[in-house]
Structure 1
Amino acid sequence: MSRRDARRRSRRWTKRSERAIPYGPFARLTDWWCATRDARKGIPQLPPEDARAGSTPADTEPHLNTPRMMFLGQLGAGRWEKEWIVYQAEVADLTAGRRNAEAQRDAFVEQLAPARDRLRQADQPPDTTVRLAGEQHTDAAIVAQRRRREQADRRERVAAEVGRLVEALHATQTRIAYLDEQIAIRLRVTQRRAAMIEAYVRRREAAYLTRLVRRHPQGARLNTLLRPTWPQPPRWLRADHQPATTAPPADAPAWHTRAAVS
């Protein structure tokens, strides 16, 4: 990512926050109209008041549902999935770059271990009695000086190699940390957008249920029986979720199995 792209993305993420998803008059009137129509038809139909006699608590738990509630639940689930798709598209390059950086880091680590072994060997005192070709009649002190100089040169080369690998490894680790932070930022932005979607869906369902209870012929009893179950949020919406940098979570995108409100 270029510095220009980073500045542009930073400005986009740090600009003044926008208002929540607007719940306009058309959508509100539509929800009210559906609630009125359902109430006039007696939807949902309430169980008989004596149905609890001789039944277990699990059997007597009412399952109240309407087509409008299912529609609103699926509306939120669809928007959640769209945010997940956008997130995956935005972090695709970052994730690929991180995988490349991981491969480079592993290569540097693999090269660094034998290089450090060679450096430890170079730190050992040389055998100053070894004579090479042409040194049979050379003074022993000169031979020892040559062996020590050769050992020092060899150690300097190995130390330079180790230093280069360590520097490259640190640079790669810094790159991975930077990419992790960019991916995490994108995930947090996506989570906040998904939270706004959840608030929007809950607001519409609350408006629908309020109108439904007020217009329903058994509104007072319906109000006591209503136990709205909101769409099951995906795992990546949790604040403690860690972004996947090598593969998407196992529950994406098939996380909305309980999207219908019951």
Structure 2
Amino acid sequence: MQTTTFTLKAVSFGYTDTPVLRDLDLTFEPGQLYGVVGPNGSGKSTLLDLLAGHRTPTIGSARIDNTAITSINPNELARRCALVPQELDFNFPFTAFEAVLMGRHPHIQRFARPSKNDLSIVENALQAMDLGQLKHRVMADLSGGEKQRTVVARGLAQTTPALLLDEPTSSMDIRHALTTMTELKRLASEENRTIVAVLHDLNLAAAFCDQIVILDAGRVHAHGSVDTTLTPETINAVFRIQADILNTGKGLHIFYALKELS
């Protein structure tokens, strides 16, 4: 599998007169799991849309392997980068298996049937997200967490060198959240994928991510390793909460408390 690098240079984006992202200079490289964190409205989902080619920078350039992202043919881009959204609406009574099989469409010739390899990849994605017993259930009958795991499995089945995920664990119970983050970490470290995940749980980010990007009001407030970004000072400044950090020897654990508003 080829590798993928995203590069944003002096990128700003806004809707008409409303700026959303400003002056972003970021590189996302293979073999790394990046956590993008920040308050609501800080531009996290918009950043993923730029990387996925769904939006074009107002200023600056967004490139994938030295090519402007929005200039790439959509089908080719779908073979290089998968976007896992927060929610995905299914207008027909698809089963979980059929929903995950949609992730193979960029790899299947038009009017062709899925190959044995395609079906095997779908089965592996279902197993990775603990959906083996639910694969014949209709999506409408699944719980919120089960639907979310199905959407993640669909992204896994796309087998792209880059994977973009928007709050992939927000509806999951803790066991499945840990399972999902463990799989994303494995894809980055063992398969040299480029993984970018928007996360709200700072402890999940601290436990699994190699690099952290903290957005605040559309700008990069901090970018780097977990130790250098998730500090009490940074968390206090960006989220306006008190944070104490314990180094357990297996990683950082963050304790929160509301901050007195001035």
Normalising by the residue count of structure 1, what TM-score does the alignment of the two structures yield?
0.22
Structure whose residues are more often strand by fraction: 2
Q: State the TM-score, normalized to the length of structure 2.
A: 0.22
Which structure has more relative contact order (CA 8 Å, sep 6+)? It is: 1
